[in-house]
Amino acid sequence: MELDSIGVNNTTSHNVRYDPDFDPSSDDDDSPPFDPRNPRSAFSLFPLENLLYCEDCHQIRCPRCVLEEIVSYYCPSCLFEVPSSTVKTEGNRCTRNCFQCPICFASISVVSNSDQVTAPTGPYSLTCSYCHWSSKEIGLEFDKPANLTAQFAKQLKAAAAENPKPKYAEFSTYEENFARLKSHYTSQGIGAAGSGTGGLGVGRGATDDYGTSPGTLSRLMGLYTGGGHVGKRNVSGLSARGVGRDANGKKTELTEMEDVEIVGDEKDIIDRLIQVEFDETTTQAQNLCQSRQPKFKSQLRPIATLLRTKRSKRCRACRHILVKPEPKVQSTRFRIKLVAMNYIPAINISRLDPTTSYHSLPPLSTHQFLLTVTNPLFDPISVSLSTPQKTPGKYPSIVTILCPEFEVGANTDAWDEVLKEDSSGEKKSRRGRGDRDRSDGTVWDSGRNWSTVVIEERDEEDEKVVQVPIFVRIEYEAEVGMDSGDVGDVPGGDGRKEKKEHAYWCVLYLGKIGRMHANYKYLLPRRGVIHA
Amino acid sequence: MDTSSSHLSGYRSSPRTTTSYKPSSTPLAPRAYNYTSGSGLTQSEDPVVIEIGTRYLRAGFANEAAPRCVIPYTEDMWRRVGDKVVDSGKRGGTMLIHKAPISSETAQTKKKSTRKSRGELWQYDLRSLDTGLVEDLIERALREAYNKYLLVDSKTKKVVLPLPPLLPTILIKTITNTIFTQFHPPTITYFSAPVLCTVSAGLRSALVIDIGWHETVITPIYELRVIGGLVGAAGRTKRAGKLLRKKTGEILENLLVEKGIEGKKLQENHVEELVHRVVWCENYEVRKLERELWRKADRSKSPIPGTSLPGTHASTKPIFSPAGQATMLIPLITTDSHKPLSINIPLSTLSLPVEHAFFEATTSNDSYDGYDGDEPDQDELPLPQLLYKSLLACHIDVRAACLSRIVIVGGPSNIPGLKKRIIDELHALVQENGGWNTVKITQSARVRRRGASPTVVTEGEDERPPPPPPKDDVPPPLPPPKFLDEPLKLSPAEPAKEDVKGESAEENTNIFGSHNRIRKYKELEERENPKPSQPPGFIQGVKSLGTWAGGSIVAGARVRGICEVERDKFLSAVASGGMGLPNNML
């Protein structure tokens, strides 16, 4: 089947979630057709590969309806598994030698700056092999090619101490300001000191005339909030608010920071902006990755690589595990992996007329596509497809599925098909475009576990992608106990069959209607002949 | 839940009703234990601070200097999972485009309604707002934040949520609902964003100017309280980031026309990039010189260069600007091509967008002729004027505290030179208007007043330099008979924004208790904490590390928020058809 150009999106039960009246088993006419043009549809449509399936709920589960749990943390660059206890303090970033280029975000590597090729010596720098950025440009060099993060931090610290004109002044301003601010508040004991832990406001509280001892900031902020302590005391005046007492009973008060930073004219930045090239200013994307939002490229720091996680996923409704990867980083195996592809038929679409371009379907004409349903189940399924007659929107396309109800065979052994074809060659003969009347509601083609039907689309003008919402309903009979997991109750299966059903909306992209050409009048009859 | 006591914007409080809301203020430890496993004990104490803005989402842990991630709502956020995009130039590509770049003019107009809000989480025109879409977007962005950057179990972490003062309640509910239903934090604590900005500036009082995306909002903060008036802020104007982008696009497009390249439209995203990278703000002295020159040369034309036909100014005016004749070669990306046009743009031109967006008297381009230049539209006051009006509407004590503590935050405030320029413009405006007095007090009234209450003048306001404010820091016995029944000095121009004139007496007492209390407090403050005083009325801007950093400090110190909502309570309240938010937020 040709897949190259068409994305098939399956919706999930999200329709149900957002529309409580939607019942997959109810009649189609009751619920309005799914509108792929609604911007919200972008959040409920997923490719089939992204969907999971809960065997207990018999429902498709999308990335939004699972709960995730982190199994292990690792650096995608050096594949080091990071113990969860250190992850947070390290900022979820690799603290070994892995960095990303601040310009192009490729991962960068350590190279020696010396000319000796045979026995490289220091100093070393980080160099991007994609955009050739080098940490030398910002004056960052390392003595050893290992443990770069620690060396980097050391250099920053040293530079910060290097007053009055620190080498890394631009690097450290934001963090320093924050540290200053924090120590200011810490020194004042701003926190809810009475609660004990936390480190802020420790050493106060016993002599406080409130039951608990919230810190000064806490008190000031909680002034009118009724946040616990306010109501305990007769409000005699504002004077008591924002005022704490230290251990000696002396009043302390939250004061403003002495050396607040006054707004300057930022002349240095403007002067620099006037001198530099456009290319030397940072893009927004580069800026967002840096904590200090620098204006110029020379202020960018290499970015430590973000850690990634392996996660297990649970069904949000029944909490059963749907995906459980092996915790080991190098392993790509899964202990449990219930993906929807193994339960839900795949729908593919391809053009009937190979000369048609998906990117510019001739406007105002009829196009035919082949819609193939492939069954992953070991039981034959009966499929019924329904679609609104006109696609939603101002300039609708008229869509007809020529054979809306059909059977798809079971996903049996692949050899079966070969053997079957030998015996019944007449199935093969259905293929091809003869002058057979295709509107007779028959299947266009079928094989072992797939069937193909024709879908016809007649479009209006307008340059747009034709998206066809299709309501798919699948019915099949499966052996009881086959997929509910309770094999113990039904040992070996007693051959009793149970009817099962799936129903969901999916959206097909048929193609993009081309622009109306000035000479479309001439084009139209020719197209007409082809499709007649 | 419904009897909790304070108002986000400050003062609808009643200390008596605190008991029923008390559970939220119990120490967090027991809850933390429930959710913690082993070594994560300390982890679960630092809440996650999530700042949800119109354009960006910032998330990180309390007590850290910077957010772990800043996630912009790019167009990709609106895209379906698995959709691949090819450049429209690569027609031979094999993938279909769901959101194709729009090339033809007709398509642009047709799809305008759906496309206009791309990149913005919401518009404040709630009539056309699909809150479901907002939920989807917040969820997508937060999922990225939690799964890619924070890497914590969202169930264990309390959430601290700074809220801008004018955020519509329905959006607050939408945000809360999304966070609770999708990420299950035990509680969400709300803080007022301007208060956090004040904290992260190291101040107790400040006038916070938040230059946002849709609008600029001015909020006076006094003793870490929002003095917001009835609407929750002292002033708002649409002079903000979005307008700046629009003006930048227009100016650059005009420049293209001038260079003989007609009919090109610049890509919005690219214009935004340019705003971020190269737009700057001219300082006040240069602009003043220019304005005077223009006034002398041609009174009929606009006082700000570039308002008239674009380009004319560059050749005719003498150059004061530090930029001089310098130019920068800038690639411009138009909507119809992916190949940038490299154009040499004078740097002086790159300072014009800020003039148009923030300082010029009107935002309209066409109607300049018919415009008399005196009264701009209410929603588009230039920033200095709005600032002046907001300060005028403030109580005198609040104003005195705020004048030397002007904090400018928000995305566009990072444009080099802008903060200083706003402060300078305000300074000039105050001088021009002769201080803060909108009603001129006669000499006799002044004498009478001074006689009435000589003892209560607490600050040396008589010695105020150029902007000598009236001596009306003595609220009760106000001299002009007009205000006799009003306790506070208010701008007569804006009665609706009076901040302290509560409708009911009860409210009034709750807000400030009384003015006596403030005065008492001030006296006490001065006694206890004598400061090397700068002249009162001294106008000065103070830098702030921003809302997020403030949230980080406040949450890190485990300050109890104005208002805290627990998950179960919220969800059960919503399930029974309520808002789920405590009354004091509504």
For domain A8-28+345-531, give the CATH number.
2.60.40.10
Task: Indicate where chain A has its CATH 2.60.40.10 domain(s).
Answer: 8-28+345-531
Mean pLDDT along residues A206-210? 30
- The predicted-structure confidence for A32-45, as pLDDT tens digits, reads as follows 677 777 788 888 88
Q: Does B169 fall in a domain?
A: yes
Cis peptide before A123 (omega within 30 of 0): yes
User: What type of residue is A140?
Assistant: L
- B194 and B228 assigned to the same domain: no
- Tokens 């791309």 found at: B118
Mean pLDDT along residues A397-406? 86
Adjacent-strand bridge partners of A243? A253
Mean pLDDT along residues B432-446? 66
- B458 and B476 assigned to the same domain: yes
Choose between A526 and B521: higher pLDDT: B521
- B409 and B454 assigned to the same domain: yes
Which of A225, A288, A299 to mutate to test binding with chain B, by most B CBs within 10 Å of its CB?
A225
- The pLDDT of residue A335: 92
Element (H, E) at A218: helix A216-221
Q: Decide if A263 touches B, using CB distance below 8 A.
A: yes
- B416 and B467 assigned to the same domain: yes
Q: Does B212 fall in a domain?
A: no
Q: Does B88 fall in a domain?
A: no
- The predicted-structure confidence for A515-529, as pLDDT tens digits, reads as follows 665 444 343 333 333
Q: Determine the Cα–Cα distance for residues A528 and A365; give it in Å rounded to an integer.
A: 7
Highest mean pLDDT, choosing among A36-50, B70-84, B127-141, B463-477: B127-141
Choose between A1 and A453: higher pLDDT: A453
- B306 and B408 assigned to the same domain: no
Question: Around A235, how many Cα atoms within 13 Å sit in the side-chain half-sphere?
Answer: 19
Mean pLDDT along residues B155-169? 88
Choose between A310 and A165: higher pLDDT: A310
Q: Do B139 and A64 touch (CB under 8 A)?
A: yes
Mean pLDDT along residues B476-486? 35
- The pLDDT of residue B85: 56
Mean pLDDT along residues A286-302? 84
Q: How many domains does chain B have?
A: 3
Q: Do A223 and B224 touch (CB under 8 A)?
A: yes
Give this complex's ipTM: 0.79
Q: Determine the Cα–Cα distance for residues B215 and B211; give it in Å rounded to an integer.
A: 7
Q: Determine the Cα–Cα distance for residues B581 and B563; give it in Å rounded to an integer.
A: 9
Is the per-residue pLDDT at B58 higher than 90?
A: yes
Closest residue in chain B to residue A275, using alpha carbons only: B326
List the 6-45 stretch of A: residues with Cβ below 8 A of B: 6-7, 9, 18, 39-43, 45
Confidence band, pLDDT 50/70/90 cuts, at residue A120 = low
Candidate from B19, B39, B100 with C-beta closest to A231: B19
Cα–chain-centroid distance for residue B574? 30
- The predicted-structure confidence for A152-191, as pLDDT tens digits, reads as follows 888 877 776 665 444 444 445 677 788 888 888 877 765 5
List the 182-221 stretch of B: residues with Cβ below 8 A of A: 182, 195, 199-204
Q: Do A262 and B543 touch (CB under 8 A)?
A: yes
Give the residue numbers spanning the domain of B284.
241-368
- B249 and B339 assigned to the same domain: yes
Is the per-residue pLDDT at A267 higher than 90?
A: no
- B411 and B509 assigned to the same domain: yes
List the 105-164 stretch of B: residues with Cβ below 8 A of A: 107, 110, 114, 130, 132-133, 136-137, 139-140, 143, 147-153
Q: Determine the Cα–Cα distance for residues B159 and B248; give it in Å rounded to an integer.
A: 37
Q: Do A263 and B420 touch (CB under 8 A)?
A: yes
Confidence band, pLDDT 50/70/90 cuts, at residue A480 = low
Instruction: Tokens for B77, please give them.
Output: 């956020």
Q: Determine the Cα–Cα distance for residues B20 and A435; give it in Å rounded to an integer.
A: 80
Q: Decide if A87 touches B, using CB distance below 8 A.
A: yes
Is the per-residue pLDDT at B50 higher than 90?
A: yes
- The predicted-structure confidence for B366-414, as pLDDT tens digits, reads as follows 544 445 555 567 778 889 989 988 888 888 888 888 888 999 999 899 8
Q: Does B106 fall in a domain?
A: no
- The predicted-structure confidence for B180-239, as pLDDT tens digits, reads as follows 988 989 999 888 899 899 988 888 889 999 999 988 999 998 888 888 665 667 788 889
- B398 and B512 assigned to the same domain: yes
For residue B388, give Cα distances in angstroms to B97, B167, B234.
50, 23, 11
Q: Do A309 and B147 touch (CB under 8 A)?
A: yes
Which of A263, A280, A287, A288 to mutate to test binding with chain B, by most B CBs within 10 Å of its CB?
A263
Mean pLDDT along residues A45-51? 83
Q: Decide if A225 touches B, using CB distance below 8 A.
A: yes
Choose between A241 and B350: higher pLDDT: B350
- Which residues in B9-33 are b (16+ Cβ under 10 Å) and which e? bbbbbbbebbeebeebbeebeebbe
**Domain finish residue from B317, B338, B368:** B368
- B182 and B37 assigned to the same domain: yes
Highest mean pLDDT, choosing among A329-333, A414-418, B41-45, B515-519: A329-333
Q: How many CB atoms neighbour CB B366 within 10 A? A: 7
Confidence band, pLDDT 50/70/90 cuts, at residue A200 = very low
Average pLDDT, chain B: 70
Q: Considering only CB atoms, which chain A residues are within 8 Å of B408? A: 263
Range with the lowest mean pLDDT among A356-360, B288-292, B414-418, B468-472?
Answer: B468-472
Alpha helices in B342-417 (DSSP H): 352-354, 383-393, 396-403
Confidence band, pLDDT 50/70/90 cuts, at residue B313 = very low
Confidence band, pLDDT 50/70/90 cuts, at residue B448 = low
Contact A378, A449 (CB under 8 A): no
Q: Do B65 and A175 touch (CB under 8 A)?
A: yes
Q: Determine the Cα–Cα distance for residues A368 and A387; give it in Å rounded to an integer.
A: 15
Q: At what angle do helices B567-575 and B169-183 cross, to 10 degrees?
A: 110
Confidence band, pLDDT 50/70/90 cuts, at residue B506 = very low
Q: Do A253 and B529 touch (CB under 8 A)?
A: yes
Phi, psi of A405 (to 5 degrees): -125, 130
Classify A455 as helix, strand or coil.
strand
Q: Does B8 fall in a domain?
A: no
Q: Determine the Cα–Cα distance for residues B8 and B166; give it in Å rounded to an integer.
A: 10
Mean pLDDT along residues A337-356? 84
**Domain finish residue from B342, B368, B394:** B368
Q: Does B68 fall in a domain?
A: yes
List the 161-180 stretch of A: residues with Cβ below 8 A of B: 174-175, 177-179
Q: Do A43 and B136 touch (CB under 8 A)?
A: yes
- The pLDDT of residue B443: 58
Q: Do A226 and B326 touch (CB under 8 A)?
A: no
Q: Considering only CB atoms, which chain B residues are within 8 Å of A175? A: 65-66
Q: Determine the Cα–Cα distance for residues A194 and A202; give it in Å rounded to an integer.
A: 8
- B183 and B292 assigned to the same domain: no
